[in-house]
Amino acid sequence: MNEQLRINPDAYTRPVSADDRREYGHDSSPLAWIVAGITFVVLTLLLGSLFLHADNRLWLWLLAAGIAATVSITTLVFMVLPDKRGIRSRRFAAEHGFVYALSTGGSGMQGVLFEGGTKRHTKHAFSLPGGVVVSDFEFEPSGSNATVTWRYIELPLPRMLPHLVLDATSNNGLFGTNLPQWLAQSQRISLEGDFNQHFALYAPRGYDFDVRYLLPPDSMALLIDNLAQFDVEFFGDRMRIVTKGGWPHGDPQTWQFVEWVVNVLWPHFWQSTIRYEDARAHHLQQPVRRAETQAAPAPGDDQDPVERFREQWERGEHMSANAHAAPSSAGSVAPSGRKLSRSPWKTVLSAVASITMVVVLSVLWFLNR
């Protein structure tokens, strides 16, 4: 992460040469000839049989063969045409040491921003050094056949973190949040300053002080100034920034933004999270042994770790005491902080809307009889 990433998007603007087609293209010529040949034979026999059923003349066979040849040639041309976007993407990835994949599945991705809807999959995914992923994500919202495309960047972090979602207010729709799943409002946390005007922050109940450690004022300012159009999710040891629409790979501003994310945003949150420890998980991982229960407890040892952390924060100590210590090997999060609770209201309202529509249509049908 110490080395600055530099991206040159010229690979998307340079013409595709014959060498590029050979090196980065997919050779579908043998398959294309086989498909075209089968198409010609099948269409000739099928159309010829239909024509001859009406009138047994040779010119009808020629007409059938001509139609079949036209369809076969069209199929051949489209199958052997170079996929210039794919060639440019693979050329771009090769020149920068990235890995490119047209589609990588993605149906198993977890998190509020990726678990909703059906037919979920990633497209045009670039894997950058260090585990950074730049990709599109497509899915069909529940109850809809329309495909929704999002673009996102995924950044690995050094620690397991509580499940946090920052819902940007600027990209919400007419009826509120654009999140595919609604979150329980009891998990919403209000932070200082004007942060709440730009993001609705959700965190597991009881993690309000953890959030203030993970999102200090400088982090909040960084998000407001640069990511006001993006929803942000912390899930496990990953940070994802997401917004609607696919990445315009041919636009230099896309890769300038990726540079900023990798060179500025990623190091910032790496450093701000590397010392984080969930006191609840620490308590669970180090149970008091039977022999120690007979000894006199040290001052504060009988205190709940969450309350202790709360008092440290109020005294301004929070986790700064360990700021220069080596990171602990305990990187887990307590079960209560691993996943946000969903609100059932979206499902309820969808069911009510469906039932209402059925009732209205039934009444209209009955009145028009």
Residues linked to residue 176 through DSSP beta bridges, in sequence order: 173
Is residue 211 within 8 A of residue 191, CB to CB? The reply is yes
Distance, in Å, from the CA atom of 207 to the CA atom of 309, rounded to the nearest integer, reads 11
Enter the tokens of residue 302.
């009988």
Highest mean pLDDT among 102-111, 171-180, 241-250, 291-300: 241-250
Query: Residues 342-364: pLDDT tens digits?
Result: 754 444 444 444 566 666 666 66
Distance, in Å, from the CA atom of 120 to the CA atom of 181, rounded to the nearest integer, reads 14
Query: Residues 155-201: pLDDT tens digits?
Result: 999 999 999 999 998 877 666 667 777 788 888 889 888 899 999 99
Over residues 112-119, mean pLDDT: 77
* Position 227 confidence tier, pLDDT thresholds 50, 70, 90: very high
pTM: 0.70
**DSSP designation for 142:** T
Enter the tokens of residue 67.
């139609």
